[in-house]
Amino acid sequence: MPIVVVANPKGGVGKSTLSTNIAGYFASQGHAVMLGDVDRQQSSKLWLGLRPVAARPIRSWDISADEIARPPRGTTHVVLDTPAGLHGGRLKDVMKIADKIIIPLQPSVFDIFATRVFLDQLAGSKHTEKTRVALVGMRVDARTIAADHLHEFVEQLGVPMLGYLRDTQNYIHLTARGLTLFDVTPRRVEKDLEQWAPLCAWLEAP
C-alpha cells in the first residue's frame, strides 16, 4: 500500500491543493483511497466534507494529534497532507510511514530557502533512506523571472522535478466544490492534465 506524503515546512505553498488532487487521481484509477490530514487547519478534511456523494469515494483518515496509526484494512492508497512547520518528532513519525514524498514549492526566494533546508533535513534522516522524494512547482508562470530562478534552483538539487503547475482558477473552483481535475470532463482541464502527466507517472511507478 503506497503512502504518499505531501510536505514542506513553508506555509501556503499548495500542499492541500496537491494532496487533494493526488487523492483524486488515485480515486479515478479505481483505488480505495484515504486522505489523511496532519495539519491543524484540517484543510483536506474540510475539502472532503464538500465532496459530492456522486464523486468517486475518498475516505478520511482520522489522525490523532499524538500518533499516526496505520490506515484501516481495505485501503490501497494513502495520501497524507502535512502542516507548515513540520519538524522534530512529528516529522520523524510521518517519514517513517512514507513511501514517497512530494515537496511543493512556489517560485519565491522564501519557498526556495525553506525547501533547501527541508531537503537537508530529509537527507540527514535515516527514515528517508528508501523513500523516493520529488518536487512539484506550484502556481508557476513560465514567463516570469521568478520562474527562471526556480528552474536554476531545481537544477542544482539533484532531486526530480515532476512538473510546474500553472496558476489557474481551475484549482480554486474545483476545490470549493470538493472536486479535483480528475473528477471533471478532461476537455475542461486539458492543459492542467498535461502538466500532471509526469506527476501521475511517478506516482504509479514502484
More confident residue, 71 or 194: 194
90-100 confidence digits (pLDDT tens): 777 777 888 99
Residue 154 confidence (pLDDT) above 60 = yes
Q: What is the DSSP string of 160-199?
A: -EEEE----HHHHHHHTTT--GGGS-GGGGHHHHHHHHHH
Ordered domains of the chain (ranges, CATH): 3-204 (3.40.50.300)
Enter the DSSP assignment of 143: T
For residue 6, which of 36, 26, 50 has the smallest C-alpha distance? 36
32-71 confidence digits (pLDDT tens): 999 987 766 677 888 999 999 999 999 987 655 555 556 7
Record the cell numbers describing residue 89, joined without a space.
Answer: 518528532
